[in-house]
C-alpha cells in the first residue's frame, strides 16, 4: 500500500477509535448458541446473534451439512449456469418457495447479493423503484447500483407513511414498472411493514411489491413463514428476498422467491447469480435441513422457551453477560479496548432503570445501561436512504 493511502487509512482508523465507532472482532471458540465460549472471555451469554431459533447447532442440521460435504465435496467450483448447480440446490429452492408461499425461488451467496440482483435485472430507464426510507442498507445499495447499471428511476417514501407512498405512486403513473421495495421487519427499528396496506396500494396503482423478509423468515407468523403469514396474505407478495443466515439455520446464503418466470429471468440475467460460484453444497444441505426441521416443529419446543436464560449457581460455571449493541458505551466490543476497570464504572447516558456491573476482577465488558422503553417508540430516521 502506497504511503499516502496508508497514512490516510491509519488516520481514519484512529478517528474511528476516538469517535467510539471502531469495531473489534470477538472470536468464538464454540458453536453459536445461547451460551458460547469467547476467546479471552470464557463462557458468556450471547444476546445479540441472529440465530433466533437455535437451528445452527441442531444435531440434524449439523449432520446434514456433514453429509452434504461427504456427498458433494467442499466447493462447487463453478457458477450455476456452467456446472455449479447440484441437486441439493433444487431441493433447497423448492423448499424455500414452499416456505414463503411463492411458485419458485433462487438461491444466492447472500441476501445482499439477492437484493443487488433484483433491481438492476428487473428495472430499466422506464421503470421506478420506490423505497421506504428506513430500508436495510442492502436495499439502499441495490437501488444505487441499479441506477448506475440500468438507469432506473427511484423515489423514497417516509417510513411506513402510506399517504406519502401513494403520492410517489401517483407521480410515477407513467413509469412502465412501479416497484415498491420494503423490509418485512425493519432491522433497526423493530417494527413490521404495513404489508396489507402496501399490497392494497400496489393493486390500485398497478405496482408490484418486493419485500426483504430476512428478519421475519422462520420466526414471524403462526408457523414461521414470515411477514406475509403474519398478516394472512401468504402468496400475495410478488417478490420476497430473505436470508439463510439468521433464523433459518444461522448459515450463509440468501434467496429470491417469486414466480417461476421471474426466477428463470434472474437465472438468465442476474449478474450476481451469473458470475458468482453457487452456494456451497454443505451450506445448502444444512439450510435445507433447518427449514425442514422448522416445518416439522413449528412451535420449536415451547417448553425450552420457559427455561431461564441465566443459570443459577448450581447449574454450572458463572456466566458473564456480553455487552449490548450500544457502540458508544465505554467498554463495548466496538470500542478499541476490552473494558478496563475504570470503564466498568463509567456512567452510561440516557434514561436508565437498571444497571449491571461486573466484579472488578472479571474479564470482559460491562453491559450497557438498560434503557427505559416505557414511552412509545416512534422510530428515528437514519441517514442513508434519502440519498438513493
Structural domains in the chain plus CATH codes: 15-53+313-371 (no CATH), 57-297 (3.40.640.10)
Q: Which entry of 89, 147, 168, 246 is annotated as an active-site residue?
A: 246
Q: Which entry of 187, 236, 297, 337 is annotated as an active-site residue?
A: 187
CA distances from 366 to 254, 327, 348 (A): 34, 12, 11
CA dihedral sign of residues 84, 86, 88, 92: positive
Annotated active-site residue 236? The verdict is no
Q: What is the pLDDT of residues 16-27, one digit of tens each?
A: 999 999 999 999
Annotated active-site residue 56? The verdict is no
Q: Which entry of 89, 136, 147, 215 is annotated as an active-site residue?
A: 215
d(CA 71, CA 209): 39
Closest by Cα among 261, 262, 221 to 241: 262
- Rounded mean pLDDT, 91-108: 97
Q: pTM score, two decimals?
A: 0.79
- Rounded mean pLDDT, 118-131: 98
d(CA 339, CA 330): 7
Q: What is the pLDDT of residues 128-142, one digit of tens each?
A: 999 999 999 999 999
Closest by Cα among 128, 131, 77, 43 to 311: 43
Model pLDDT, residue 120: 96
Model pLDDT, residue 68: 96
Annotated active-site residue 151? The verdict is no
Model pLDDT, residue 372: 37
CA angle, residues 216, 222, 228, in degrees to nearest 5? 50
Q: What is the pLDDT of residues 26-75, one digit of tens each?
A: 999 999 999 999 999 999 999 889 999 999 999 999 999 999 999 999 99
Amino acid at each position: 500500500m502506497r504511503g499516502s493511502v496508508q497514512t490516510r487509512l491509519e488516520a481514519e482508523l484512529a478517528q474511528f477509535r476516538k469517535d467510539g465507532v471502531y469495531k473489534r472482532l470477538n472470536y468464538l471458540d464454540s458453536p453459536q448458541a445461547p451460551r458460547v465460549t469467547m476467546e479471552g472471555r470464557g463462557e458468556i451469554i450471547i444476546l445479540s446473534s441472529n440465530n433466533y431459533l437455535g437451528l445452527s447447532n441442531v444435531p440434524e442440521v449439523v449432520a446434514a451439512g456433514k453429509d452434504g460435504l461427504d456427498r458433494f465435496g467442499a466447493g462447487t467450483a463453478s457458477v450455476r449456469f456452467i456446472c455449479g448447480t447440484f441437486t441439493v440446490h433444487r431441493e433447497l429452492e423448492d423448499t424455500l418457495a414452499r416456505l414463503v408461499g411463492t411458485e419458485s425461488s433462487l438461491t444466492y451467496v447472500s441476501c445482499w447479493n439477492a437484493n443487488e440482483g433484483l433491481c438492476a435485472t428487473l428495472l430499466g430507464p422506464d421503470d421506478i423503484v420506490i423505497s421506504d426510507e428506513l430500508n436495510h442498507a442492502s436495499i439502499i445499495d441495490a437501488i444505487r447500483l441499479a441506477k448506475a447499471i440500468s438507469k432506473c428511476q427511484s423515489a423514497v417514501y417516509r417510513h411506513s407513511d402510506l399517504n406519502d407512498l401513494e403520492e410517489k405512486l401517483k407521480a410515477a403513473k407513467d413509469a412502465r414498472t412501479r416497484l415498491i421495495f420494503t423490509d418485512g421487519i425493519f432491522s433497526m427499528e423493530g417494527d413490521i411493514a404495513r404489508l396489507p396496506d402496501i399490497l392494497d396500494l400496489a393493486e390500485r396503482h398497478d405496482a408490484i411489491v418486493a419485500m426483504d423478509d430476512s428478519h421475519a423468515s422462520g420466526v414471524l407468523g403462526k408457523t414461521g413463514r414470515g411477514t406475509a403469514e403474519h398478516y394472512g396474505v401468504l402468496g400475495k407478495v410478488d417478490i420476497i428476498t430473505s436470508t439463510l443466515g439468521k433464523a433459518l439455520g444461522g448459515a450463509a446464503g440468501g434467496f429470491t422467491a417469486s414466480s417461476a418466470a421471474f426466477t428463470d429471468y434472474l437465472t438468465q440475467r442476474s449478474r450476481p447469480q451469473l458470475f458468482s460460484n453457487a452456494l456451497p453444497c454443505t451450506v445448502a444441505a444444512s439450510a435445507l435441513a433447518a427449514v425442514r426441521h422448522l416445518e416439522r416443529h413449528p412451535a420449536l419446543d415451547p417448553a425450552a422457551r420457559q427455561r431461564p436464560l441465566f443459570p443459577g449457581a448450581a447449574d454450572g460455571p458463572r456466566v458473564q453477560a456480553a455487552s449490548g449493541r450500544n457502540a458508544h458505551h465505554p467498554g463495548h466490543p466496538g470500542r478499541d479496548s476490552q473494558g478496563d476497570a475504570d470503564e466498568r464504572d463509567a456512567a452510561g447516558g440516557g434514561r436508565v432503570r437498571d444497571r449491571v456491573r461486573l466484579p472488578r476482577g472479571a474479564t470482559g465488558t460491562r453491559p450497557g445501561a438498560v434503557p427505559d422503553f416505557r414511552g412509545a417508540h416512534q422510530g428515528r430516521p437514519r441517514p442513508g436512504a434519502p440519498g438513493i
